[in-house]
Amino acid sequence: MDARPTAFTTVGITGKPGDPAVIELVERLAPILAARGCRALLDADSVEANGPGHPERVPRQELLEASDLVIAIGGDGTLIHVARSLAGRSDVALMGINRGRLGFLVDVAPEHLNQVACVLDGEHVIDERLILQAEIRSNSDDALLGGGVAINEVVVHRWNTARMIELSTRIDGEPLSDHRSDGLIIASPTGSTAYAMAGGGPIAHPNLHAMVLVPVCPHTLSNRPLVVDGNSCIEITVHPGFIDQVRVSCDSQKDLTVHEECRLVVSAHPTPLRLVHPPGYSYFNLLRAKLGWGGPPSQPAHGGA
């Protein structure tokens, strides 16, 4: 993490479509940005606010291209949607204001908008996160047939069938496993607290350059979660009889179709995601708060030491 001050001159604001609280937060953010001389842009594709004193409304793509800081108002899903659009942009940072539920990524509470002022004043933490790129490649000539970006995870999963699917996995060209399961999750450290954790995978600190492989309901109980280096190349081949029952999902927001004589290749995206946190951010405090690890200590039994 890098705690050096960074100047943000153009701030884009986007939010969860249809959430009336987004407009109220925009109205509270506008004077904070204006007081610091920031140019403010509002995502016309998701936020309908256009009253006196509201930021200029522009199409989302224009907002993303012009901003050096993007503020996403909503839950983790809203932030992930924006983050996927920023893949490859090392010059743009992203911050979330939580209007969702659990909120591992959107860590500014609506009642603490003073933290946004601190960020704009240079009191913040820049957190660079590994993200994933997924590619469907031909086995014959390695041609790219489809692809996507994932902030949390790439999932190979069954669909339109109650049967398990059969997969083969290779790491850097070396055979790893042939297994039957409901699917396979390849998660970034950020995504280790999402679907991968629900599937029994480990929590990986977000600053690790690593990827987590978690089988979904494997037929063989010895098929366990695995953590590999972030420089690894993970290749997954669906056995021929299951091609029509398998899909690939990136963050549950983009689907890829596997074809015969092709494979899924997952690796680290060359450009990390730049997240901005307010001063005092602590990942371990976040885990304590979100997972309920921060309860009061238990009291010893009467008469105990």
How far apart are alpha carbons 204 and 152 in whole angstroms?
A: 12
pLDDT tens profile 258-268: 988 999 999 99
Which CATH number is 239's domain given? 2.60.200.30
Domain span holding position 191: 132-268
Amino acid at 169: T
> Two tokens at 49?
């606010």
pLDDT given at position 221 = 84
How far apart are alpha carbons 74 and 132 in whole angstroms?
A: 22
Grouping H, G, I as helix, E, B as strand and the rest as coil, residue 44 is coil
**29 and 81 both lie in a single domain:** yes
pLDDT given at position 48 = 79
Grouping H, G, I as helix, E, B as strand and the rest as coil, residue 173 is coil
**188 and 98 both lie in a single domain:** no
**29 and 59 both lie in a single domain:** yes
4 within a domain of the structure (yes/no): no
Catalytic residue of the set 76, 107, 127, 251: 76
**108 and 140 both lie in a single domain:** no
**140 and 253 both lie in a single domain:** yes
pLDDT given at position 294 = 73
**148 and 203 both lie in a single domain:** yes
Burial per residue of 4-26, b for 16 or more beta-carbon CB atoms within 10 angstroms, e otherwise: eebebebbbbbbbeebeebbebb
Q: Are 230 and 209 in contact (CB under 8 A)?
A: yes
Question: Given the structure tokens 């994932």, which residue do they identify?
Answer: 150
Bridging pattern class, strands 234-238 and 153-158: unpaired
- Biggest CA pair distance of the chain: 74
Question: For 295, which DSSP code?
Answer: P
pLDDT given at position 3 = 44
Give the chain's domain count.
2
pLDDT given at position 299 = 56
**96 and 161 both lie in a single domain:** no
Which segments in the chain show pLDDT lower than 50?
A: 3-5, 303-305
H-helix or E-strand containing 274? strand 273-277
pLDDT tens profile 33-80: 999 999 999 999 888 766 667 789 999 999 999 999 999 999 999 999
Q: Are 156 and 238 in contact (CB under 8 A)?
A: yes
**68 and 30 both lie in a single domain:** yes
Question: Is 76 among the residues known to form the active site?
Answer: yes
**122 and 24 both lie in a single domain:** yes
**163 and 209 both lie in a single domain:** yes
pLDDT given at position 131 = 98
**124 and 136 both lie in a single domain:** no
